[in-house]
């Protein structure tokens, strides 16, 4: 049975968190607020885009169903 070498996983993870903590420590409170504001505005844009796309697809489906029903009803007309 193969044993896991935990140093292979924990060393890069500890280096990563060390870099993150160093970067956060180098920022002032204003810099942190700016970064958080940018991240939140990008997240808001992505969420709005996803919901607008879903709404557009739903309306497109409803429109296609409506036109298919109208076309079906017009084919049965005896005029």
| pTM check: above 0.85 | no
What is the reported pLDDT for 4? 63
Question: Where in the chain are the domains?
Answer: 6-78
More confident residue, 32 or 78: 32
Q: What is the pLDDT of residue 77?
A: 62
Say which residue, 41 or 72, is predicted with more confidence: 41
Tokens 């993870």, residue?
13
Distance of alpha carbon 66 from alpha carbon 58, whole angstroms: 12
Distance from C-alpha of 53 to C-alpha of 58, rounded to nearest angstrom: 9
| pLDDT surpassing 90 at residue 75 | no
- For 19-66, what is each residue's pLDDT tens digit? 989 988 888 889 989 999 999 999 999 999 999 999 999 999 999 998
């Amino acid at each position: 049975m193969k044993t896991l070498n935990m140093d292979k996983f924990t060393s890069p993870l500890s280096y990563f968190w060390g870099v993150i903590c160093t970067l956060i420590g180098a920022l002032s409170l204003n810099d942190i607020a700016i970064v958080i504001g940018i991240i939140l505005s990008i997240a808001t844009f992505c969420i709005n885009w996803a919901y607008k796309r879903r709404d557009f697809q739903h309306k497109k489906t409803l429109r296609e169903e409506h036109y298919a029903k109208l076309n079906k009803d017009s084919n049965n007309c005896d005029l």
